[in-house]
């Protein structure tokens, strides 16, 4: 049996590789989904949602994928299979250690459950028309990334208990905000409304069922518009303000608790995610902006989740 030090080094290396692979997977998955939605398509915004409208007329969802999207789909399968193997290896290392590494083993089992769940969901991903599938992919992928990040980082100085509870509440708020962002994207709501006042007045007349992720979006007009997407747009913009107000002070607490890197990262990622969101709302989303927005949100969630972590357990020291 390997010495505990060698097993720790092995675990850290596997966790690093896994973290990178999971970020590649979430980014490839966003690239495939957003490209198919029509972001940055040649005659934007007329071509927005064209694939959905074709699918609603019975055309296969994978027909007409560009070479880049087909390559991304292939790469996604390879990288996801490699990630699954690494997760199984991490589970084996954690549960063969004596005493068993319970904290890391628990995280590894959660990763395994998420990876298997996403593999099952993947069967529907390419021809799914309801937003629920995209939401499951987005949230599952981000949760995996946050868990990998937590597995990777050596525990720094823990925040006081109250601040950790606060960080966990911010994680829940941010997860809700990410789900709303996913809903904006998966319901093709980019053209549903313009400025915040316009979105708010359009959203007022909409029922809550407009947020139902099991409902297929309906796009009408020469500039394809899903009128009921205004509700998700309005809530996503409003919740961004709540996230900023709740999370920014936590950066100050982290700074004072000697978590300087996490504190700086938190502020930069908050500003970056919100800034990119505002740019998309003003000028219309491009593929590059939406991908950067997605990446910044994943890193933000992982940073916050790591801050919610308690002191190191005995076997981590």
The distance of closest approach from Cβ of residue 151 to ligand HEM in the complex, given in angstroms and rounded to an integer, is 22
Burial 29-48 (b: 16+ CB within 10 A, else e): bbbbbbbbbbbbbeebbeeb
Instruction: Specify the residue for token string 């994943």.
Output: 298
End-to-end Cα distance, the chain? 20
CB–CB of 180/54 below 8 Å?
no
Please give the C-alpha separations between residue 291 and each of 24, 39, 278, 280, 295, in angstroms, as whole numbers.
Answer: 12, 10, 14, 11, 6
Q: Considering only residues 273, 299, 302, 303, which one is a binding residue for ligand HEM as defined by CB under 6 A?
A: 273
In 198-284 the beta strands, taken as DSSP E runs, fall at none
State the Cα–Cα distance between residues 155 and 238, nearest whole angstrom: 33
Q: Considering only residues 182, 217, 224, 229, which one is a binding residue for ligand HEM as defined by CB under 6 A?
A: 182
SS3 category, 63 = coil
Q: Is 203 in the site for ligand HEM (CB under 6 A)?
A: no
Which 6-65 residues touch ligand HEM, going by CB under 6 A? 30, 34, 39
Q: Is 278 in the site for ligand HEM (CB under 6 A)?
A: yes
Which 107-136 residues touch ligand HEM, going by CB under 6 A? none
Q: Considering only residues 25, 90, 146, 274, which one is a binding residue for ligand HEM as defined by CB under 6 A?
A: 274
Taking CB under 6 A as the binding criterion, the range among 51-59, 65-73, 113-121, 271-279 that sits at the site for ligand HEM is 271-279
The distance of closest approach from Cβ of residue 234 to ligand HEM in the complex, given in angstroms and rounded to an integer, is 10
Q: Is 140 in the site for ligand HEM (CB under 6 A)?
A: no
Could you give the residue ranges of the DSSP H alpha helices within 153-188?
161-186
Torsion angles phi and psi, residue 47, rounded to 5: -90, 0
Q: Is 190 in the site for ligand HEM (CB under 6 A)?
A: yes
Q: Is 236 in the site for ligand HEM (CB under 6 A)?
A: yes
**How far does Cα 206 stand from its chain's mean position?**
27
Q: Is the dihedral of CA 99, 102, 107, 109 positive or negative?
A: positive
Q: Considering only residues 297, 299, 302, 308, which one is a binding residue for ligand HEM as defined by CB under 6 A?
A: 297
The distance of closest approach from Cβ of residue 276 to ligand HEM in the complex, given in angstroms and rounded to an integer, is 7
CB–CB of 296/275 below 8 Å?
no
Q: Considering only residues 237, 263, 299, 307, which one is a binding residue for ligand HEM as defined by CB under 6 A?
A: 237
Site size toward ligand HEM (CB under 6 A) is 28
The distance of closest approach from Cβ of residue 42 to ligand HEM in the complex, given in angstroms and rounded to an integer, is 17
Which residues would be at the binding site for ligand HEM (CB under 6 A)? 30, 34, 39, 138, 174, 177-178, 181-182, 184-185, 190, 236-237, 240, 243, 273-274, 277-278, 280-281, 285, 290, 293-294, 297, 300
């Amino acid at each position: 049996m390997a010495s505990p030090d060698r097993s720790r080094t092995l675990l850290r290396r596997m966790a690093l590789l896994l973290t990178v692979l999971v970020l590649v997977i979430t980014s490839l998955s966003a690239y495939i989904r957003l490209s198919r939605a029509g972001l940055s398509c040649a005659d934007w915004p007329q071509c927005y949602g064209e694939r959905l409208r074709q699918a609603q007329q019975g055309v296969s969802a994978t027909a007409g994928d560009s070479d880049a999207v087909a390559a991304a789909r292939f790469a996604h399968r390879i990288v996801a299979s490699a990630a699954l193997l690494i997760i199984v290896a991490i589970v084996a290392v954690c549960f063969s250690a004596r005493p068993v590494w319970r904290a890391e083993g628990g995280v590894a089992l959660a990763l395994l459950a998420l990876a298997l769940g996403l593999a099952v969901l993947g069967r529907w991903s390419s021809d799914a028309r309801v937003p629920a599938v995209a939401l499951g992919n987005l949230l599952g992928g981000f949760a995996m990334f946050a868990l990998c990040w937590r597995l990777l980082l050596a525990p720094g100085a823990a925040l006081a208990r109250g601040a950790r509870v606060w960080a966990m509440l911010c994680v829940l708020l941010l997860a809700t905000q990410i789900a709303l962002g996913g809903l904006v994207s998966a319901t093709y709501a980019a053209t549903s409304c313009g400025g915040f006042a316009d979105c708010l007045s359009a959203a007022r007349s909409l029922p809550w069922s407009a947020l139902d992720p099991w409902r297929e979006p309906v796009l009408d007009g020469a500039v394809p518009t899903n009128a009921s997407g205004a509700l998700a747009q309005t809530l996503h913009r409003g919740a961004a303000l709540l996230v900023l107000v709740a999370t920014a002070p936590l950066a100050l607490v982290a700074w004072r608790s000697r978590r300087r890197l996490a504190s700086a990262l938190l502020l930069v990622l908050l500003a970056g995610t919100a800034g990119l969101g505002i740019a998309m709302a003003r000028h219309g989303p491009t593929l590059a902006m939406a991908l950067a927005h997605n990446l910044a949100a994943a890193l933000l969630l992982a940073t916050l989740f790591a801050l919610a972590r308690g002191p190191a357990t005995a076997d981590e020291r």
